[in-house]
Structure 1
Amino acid sequence: MLAIIGGTGVYSMDQLEVIEQHTLDTPFGAPSAPIVRGRMGQQEMLFLSRHGAQHHHLPHEVNYRANIFALKTLGATQIIGISAVGSLAEAIAPGDLAIASQYFDWTRGRRAQTFFGEGLAVHVSTANPVSEQLSQWIARHAATLGIRLHTDVTYACVEGPRLGTRAESHFLRQAGCHLVGMTNVPEVFLAREAQICYATIGIATDYDCWMDDPSKHVQATEIFGLYRQSLARVEVLLQALLADERPHEEPEIRTALQYAMLTPDSALSEQQRAWISILQR
């Protein structure tokens, strides 16, 4: 099943025919908001607002583990995220869409990064953290609709909630990053630990603050204004996607835990076995 994680400004989906709403608790706490199961086009899907229904969670406050675990519990095997991003590349103009294929983690360790630990040793490969099938599916529909979308770019995730300094912006550019945001890590990596295919549609709202022209530097009011203008195109793109059949799920993602667990099953508690069995579905 496909799940949508809505970022800033995406707290519901107007075209979604609601089937039921789930308020879950998980071994990792409560998700950001109730999860909606509904139907749009030919697809039954799940929807979760990343920051909560009233946008009350800052990026470092989002319970990413609970969000991903709850979606997996409800049957999600593919996730499309929606996120506001800053552009670190002149070619990616404000208003453009982009799908990252790589991630650079520049957070500060305040976020729970993994489902594992505390007696459970698991090392999941994230060399290619994004679903190529999902990315290509999104890109094909964007091209058909004439929506400008960049692919094969790198997303740097920063801690926030403050916006970055010019020194930080230049550092990330020199590290080979094209986008900067605050929410996709650890979300993308937790999705892999849950054996869920993942891709995010990033909406470029600004050029961060690396340009010499101060008028191009990011301001919060500009971020949200440009983001709202771009959401209409994202909604059109999502409607086209949900009117189509979902792409294939990569076997290597859907079996990511098969050889990653080092701790033997005999050493696990019954509680650990119960929630790991959900991730292994």
Structure 2
Amino acid sequence: MLAIIGGSGLTEFASLEVSQRKRVSTPYGEPSAALTFGRIGGRPVVFLARHGDPHGIPPHQVNYRANLWALAECAPVGIVSVAAVGGIRSGLKPGDLVIPHQIIDYTWGRESTYHEWPDSPVRHVDFSEPFDPCLRQSLIDAAEATGAAVSASAVYAATQGPRLETAAEIDRLERDGAAVVGMTGMPEAVLARELAIAYAAINVVANYAAGRGDSRQGISLEAIHGVLDASMHRVRAIIERMLSAND
């Protein structure tokens, strides 16, 4: 079973043949929404809306620990995260798809580990490569098979939100090497690593980051929604193809 976490623009999966919706509780509280079980092209999946259903939980208040714990209890073969991002790197434009390979974490104050004193001893996890290489390659291969153009590597900057960044902050992120900016990649990725679940992401560039392209004078939130509506069908097609290729 594959787990899918849907972010802004993907609060449901149109081709999912739903068999069950289940509300669960975890030692870390309630997940963002009920888990939706079903099949896509005959393959079992579990879907979770990261920001709730309806979309209402801001990124800094998502209960990431509960979300990942609930999915882990389903024993998935991996987790695919779908999220909207701002494009920083030259050449990235709204509507482009990105499969990141690295993360820089700029968030603060989020519950970011399952290993906390006194309930758990100190445990360090290797996070050199934050995304599972095999799962990433499956997404890249599926994108190629569907004819969808993707950037097969990018550094994802995880910021606190819910506000968007200043142009000066984006300049700093670019100097740090970031190609895209989002608000949900951390601690989601590291929690999956602590739970030993393969995790990869596919990002939709929803807008130029502040100070870039047509965002030089400000970012249109209405335009972001339009880009996501027009782009998510390609994300769905990639995930569907990845599932069928794993038969």
**TM-score higher than 0.5 here?**
yes
Deviation at 1:219, TM superposition (A): 2.2
Report the counterpart of residue 126 of structure 1 in structure 2: 127
The TM-score, its normalising length taken from structure 2, stands at: 0.95
Q: How many residues align?
A: 245
Deviations 1:51-75, CA, capped at 9 Å, x for gaps: 0111110001100000000000122
In structure 1, list runs of 5 or more residues that go unmatched: 247-281
* 1:262-273 equivalences in 2 (<5 Å): none
* 1:197-208 equivalences in 2 (<5 Å): 197-208=198-209
Partners in 2 of 1:44 and 1:212 — Cα distance? 41
Report the counterpart of residue 162 of structure 2 in structure 1: 161
| CA RMSD after TM alignment | 1.5
Deviation at 1:11, TM superposition (A): 1.6
Partners in 2 of 1:224 and 1:216 — Cα distance? 18
Report the counterpart of residue 28 of structure 2 in structure 1: 28
Deviation at 1:102, TM superposition (A): 0.5
Instruction: Give the greater-gyration-radius structure (CA).
Output: 1
The TM-score, its normalising length taken from structure 1, stands at: 0.84
* 1:82-231 equivalences in 2 (<5 Å): 82-109=82-109, 111-119=110-118, 120=120, 121-211=122-212, 214=215, 217-231=218-232
Partners in 2 of 1:79 and 1:189 — Cα distance? 12
- Check conservation: 1:50, 1:62, Cα contact below 8 A: yes
- Check conservation: 2:32, 2:50, Cα contact below 8 A: yes
- Check conservation: 2:4, 2:47, Cα contact below 8 A: yes
Deviation at 1:212, TM superposition (A): 7.0
Moved more, 236-245 or 209-218: 209-218
Deviation at 1:123, TM superposition (A): 0.8
In structure 2, list runs of 5 or more residues that go unmatched: none
- Check conservation: 2:209, 2:215, Cα contact below 8 A: no
Aligned to 1:57, the other structure's residue is in SS state coil
Report the counterpart of residue 277 of structure 1 in structure 2: none
**Which aligned segments of 4 or more residues in structure 1 are displaced greater than 4 angstroms?**
212-217
Identity, % of aligned pairs?
A: 37
Deviations 1:120-154, CA, capped at 9 Å, x for gaps: 21111100110111111111111122211012210
Report the counterpart of residue 47 of structure 1 in structure 2: 47
Aligned to 2:153, the other structure's residue is in SS state strand
